Structure 1
Amino acid sequence: MKRVHHTFPPRTPNVSALMTTLALATAILAAPASAASAASPPTGAHVMTVAAHSSVESRISSLHSRLQITAAQETLWQPVAQVMRDNAGTMDTLRQTRLTNMGSMNAIDDLKSYGEVADAHADGIRKMTPVFQALYDTMSEAQKRNADQIFRGKNHHMPKKG
């Protein structure tokens, strides 16, 4: 009898991997500052939020540079950058919630939580597509070829090294 190995979603999703296709891909903070909860978030959660903000800004800057966005395209780039920020905020909030609840989640809770992450990722891509298409439609043929190559790449959402 052949043994079948099943793989299950990781307990803590890789935010970068979930934000592919720019949906990085989900406001920097998902809730307004005035809606802060009565219980203070753990200090580590704040540090992670700051790190996530820095990371998304690096991706935005890197992609802007790699796509060779012109001054004329800047007004179409800004909605792309904002969707990236919004998507990152949503994913960061979901990741923090998973981390906070990890010790008390059972298998069903874990699957539901991971499903929320997957749904948010898909929603982020749906939000990104029309704003990126508006930008893409204004690109020169050389920019389009470059964008196509970037998006075909495994890590198109990561800053280019070196």
Structure 2
Amino acid sequence: MKRIIKQVVFPATYVVVMAAFLSTFIFATANPSFAASTKKKATTVTRISAVERTESRIKQLQSALKITGEQDTLWNNLTQVMRENAKEMDALTKDRTENAMTMDAVESLKFNSQMTEAHLNQMKKFLPPFEALYASMSDEQKKTTDTLFRTGKHGKHRLN
């Protein structure tokens, strides 16, 4: 009986001692968690404004879609909405950036809800001029447009 106890107790004790040793080593060498860290870290990410992204997107679309003279008015209506939407997004993003560190969790969630509503409203504004332009397009332009507006990797639009 004593032999069986030794066969069970020794390995169990060994496992507990090793676990204690490893956890001591891990906790002694670990960095504080991201959430517990109070130091500000320097960021090297340069963000491109929504206005800049939109201007780039407008140029890419105009080139890819080969907008004709007859479509200029419809195209201008669409790009005006795109630019207005981009300015609104930049304002919301700036507001978020300026207040992010002082927002509690509830305020942050409310702001996310506000951003989602803004996106929805922008899509509602974008759709009528887009539909008008799309209706005026040739079959080739529609095919190109359909390809361009399919979502690619990470939610980014592909321009092939």
> Which interval holds the TM-score relative to the shorter structure?
0.5 to 0.7
Determine if contact 2:92/2:115 at 8 Å carries over to the other structure. Answer: yes
Unpaired runs of at least 5, structure 1: 1-46
Determine if contact 2:58/2:79 at 8 Å carries over to the other structure. Answer: yes
Mapping 1:75-154, distance limit 5 Å: 75-154=73-152
**Does residue 69 of structure 1 match 2:67?**
yes
Q: Mark the structure with the bigger radius of gyration.
A: 2
Q: CA RMSD in A?
A: 2.0
Query: Which residue of structure 2 lines up, in the alignment, with residue 8 of structure 1?
Result: none
Unpaired runs of at least 5, structure 2: 1-45
Q: Which protein, 1 or 2, shows the higher relative CO under an 8 Å CA cutoff with sep ≥ 6?
A: 1
Cα displacement string for residues 132-159 of structure 1 (whole angstroms, at most 9, x for unaligned residues)? 0000000001111111111113223x7x
| Residue identity in the other structure for 1:90 | E
How many angstroms apart in 2 are the aligned matches of 1:119 and 1:89?
A: 15
Question: Using a 3 Å threshold, how does the CA distance of structure 1 residues 89 and 105 change in structure 2: closer, same or farther?
Answer: same
Paired-residue identity, %: 40
Give 1:54 shift: 2.6
Q: Which is helix-richer, 1 or 2?
A: 2
Cα displacement string for residues 13-67 of structure 1 (whole angstroms, at most 9, x for unaligned residues)? xxxxxxxxxxxxxxxxxxxxxxxxxxxxxxxxxx97x944332211111111122
Hey, which bits of structure 1, 4+ residues long, moved more than 4 A?
A: none
